[in-house]
Structure 1
Amino acid sequence: MISLIQILLVLIVLINLGFLFYFIRDLAHYWGDVMSEPATTWALPFSSFIIFLLSTFGISDFAISTALYPKVHWTSIKKLPGTLNTQCVVPVAAMALSYITAITVDIKTLAICIIAAVIGAYIGPRFVVKLPVAIIKKFITAGLIIAALMILAGKLNWIPSNGTATSLSGWKLILTAVLLFIYGALNNIGIGSYALTMATVYAMGLNPSAAFPIMMGAATFSVSTSSIQFIKLQDYSRKITLFTSTFGVLGVLVAVFFVKSLDTAMLQWLVIIVLVYSAVSMIWSMRKPSEA
């Protein structure tokens, strides 16, 4: 008899094959433009590897990339939300396939949470591509601040992680589904959903072992869904996505199979400082035109 874990893994593979179909077709059609994009070809393999190696240990790839890419002018602010989504699809799938080895959560809870996140992710890109750059900058600034606060909350143990429940029902399930719908949509404007989902399911009293499939499943399916939309809308960096889909996966595999543990304590403080600095820089860049 096919188990729930096998069904979930097959679905992860299928939705990522769907993403790869659209991505490879888009690459083939615009290949002449890919290598002329501004991201530095020699540096991308290293950045992709490091970003997703650290992401495997819980340091948000959305946060690091948001702090890095505008500073080095690898992609425009307009294309940053789409790039953040498309670049992480394949590496996140590699994480999910590597880490989801057991499911201790109620099937109804898992399905509703994942579906809610996917719906939010599907709807979001259609609105994001129409937003002015100034509005996107504001959302990205908010995302940087939220990411810094979430890392800080984890370090100071403000996020509870000692729940015992394996299912949600009633108002808790409804509220969680609504929040995951919002998080799926927020992915599309550059605000990573993984840490927010983790905080939510922990706050609802779920056991960490039950919370993990929801977090990983929601992230995997939502970014795949939104990324297909961004590809259709031509609103992402093909070059960055190409490199992260190869070298980023290598970073994940090295983290999973070779680096069994990593002391991220100091790195997390450094990331918090970088995120706050990047948020302040973004705010300053928004003030300059009005002053001029």
Structure 2
Amino acid sequence: MLTIVLSVLGLLTLYFAIIFVKDYMLASKENRLEKPNFLATGAVGFFTNFFDTLGIGSFAPTTALLKQFKLTNDRTMPGTLNVSCTIPVVLEAFIFITVIKVDTLTLVAMLAAATIGAIIGAGFVAKLDVKKIQLGMGVALLIVAFIMIAQQLKMFPAGGDAIGLTGGKLIVAIIANFMLGALMTLGIGLYAPCMALVFALGLSPAIAFPIMMGSCAFLMPAASVKFVKEGAYDRKASMAITVFGVVGVLIAAYIVKSLPLEILKWLVVVVIIYTSAMMFKSYSKPVAIKAKA
């Protein structure tokens, strides 16, 4: 079953990669690529995906850095986050699913739920205007910050030693992961809330890694194809983050493996709250009306 799961993930990712690369090459040929600095955006991708592999999550810090250094615009932020982090996260999923033992039914059910949620969510988010994106991401970032603070203060259960779920707990996990998959397309990272869910249901803390990374790996290609086809993402930023993000994942997984992350997590919370405030500030500004010719 694990071989089937990984094979399906590989094929889904290959399909996404073909769509993404074709769109990028066509835009490049037609001189329609966006203007962000490739190396600067790539550095963001390396940094955030490096720490993503260690369990911090990449969406919130990537949003913060892209927003702070004006490397892309708010309108395309959700699509850019999903498209750019897809291949690095799939790589993480392959690494952790093959290393950490988890009940197959629990893993497959939660991955499928997140994927279906993302497919439904992406079609909706891709059509939102910039004001709704700014408001939605401002709220989403505050939710992530609250969950991370609660985790740091040990307000959530510490987890148990189970490697799978059955009965009511499995149903709760499926429904919750469906909702998290839908919300992820708006730019709210799945890692923090999924880790909290895993702990609350009594699963082993180690199980959080294959579940949250596998969930993202399955839902992101499906959602990202929709963003690519809608043109609702920054092509140049996404390619830079993808390329450098893969390097960051490989270094974190096979060379660094672990770091003292407590101080860094508090720093990320501060950055997330700051970025949320910036989103609300942008939302509060009136939309500029272009003069008629």
SS at match of 2:245: helix
Give matches, 1:80-99, under 5 Å.
80-99=77-96
Give the letter aligned to residue 111 of structure 1. Answer: V
Label 1:62 to 1:33 Cα distance change in 2 as closer, same or farther (>3 A): farther
Deviation (angstroms), 1:70: 2.3
Aligned residue in 2 for 1:18: 15
Deviation (angstroms), 1:103: 5.2
Deviation string, structure 1 residues 135-168 (Cα, Å, up to 9, x no partner): 2111101121122222222222223233133332
Deviation (angstroms), 1:226: 0.4
- 8 A Cα contact 2:159 2:200, kept in partner: no
Aligned residue in 1 for 2:238: 241
SS at match of 2:185: helix
TM-score, normalised to structure 2, is 0.91
- Give the root-mean-square deviation of aligned CA atoms: 2.0
- 8 A Cα contact 2:133 2:186, kept in partner: yes
Give matches, 1:143-182, under 5 Å.
143-182=140-179
Give the letter aligned to residue 201 of structure 1. Answer: V
Structure-1 separation of matches of 2:57 and 2:212: 13
Aligned residue in 2 for 1:71: 68
Candidates 213, 224, 227, aligned match of 1:227: 224
Structure 2 residues without counterparts, runs of 5 or longer: 288-293
Aligned residue in 2 for 1:190: 187
Aligned residue in 2 for 1:260: 257
Structure-2 separation of matches of 1:160 and 1:13: 34
Give the letter aligned to residue 258 of structure 1. Answer: I
Aligned residue in 1 for 2:291: none
- Does residue 122 in structure 1 map to residue 147 in structure 2? no
- 8 A Cα contact 2:53 2:253, kept in partner: yes
- 8 A Cα contact 1:105 1:211, kept in partner: no
Deviation (angstroms), 1:84: 0.6
Structure-2 separation of matches of 1:145 and 1:91: 25
- 8 A Cα contact 2:39 2:240, kept in partner: no
Aligned residue in 2 for 1:50: 47
Deviation string, structure 1 residues 194-220 (Cα, Å, up to 9, x no partner): 221111122111223444332221111
Structure-2 separation of matches of 1:162 and 1:73: 39
- 8 A Cα contact 2:191 2:213, kept in partner: yes
The 10-residue stretch of structure 1 (165-174 or 194-203) with the greater mean CA deviation from structure 2:
165-174
SS at match of 2:131: helix
Moved over 4 A (4+): 33-36
Structure-1 separation of matches of 2:263 and 2:163: 33
Number of residues paired by the alignment?
287
The 10-residue stretch of structure 1 (42-51 or 78-87) with the greater mean CA deviation from structure 2:
42-51
SS at match of 1:116: helix
TM-score, normalised to structure 1, is 0.91
Structure-2 separation of matches of 1:193 and 1:55: 11
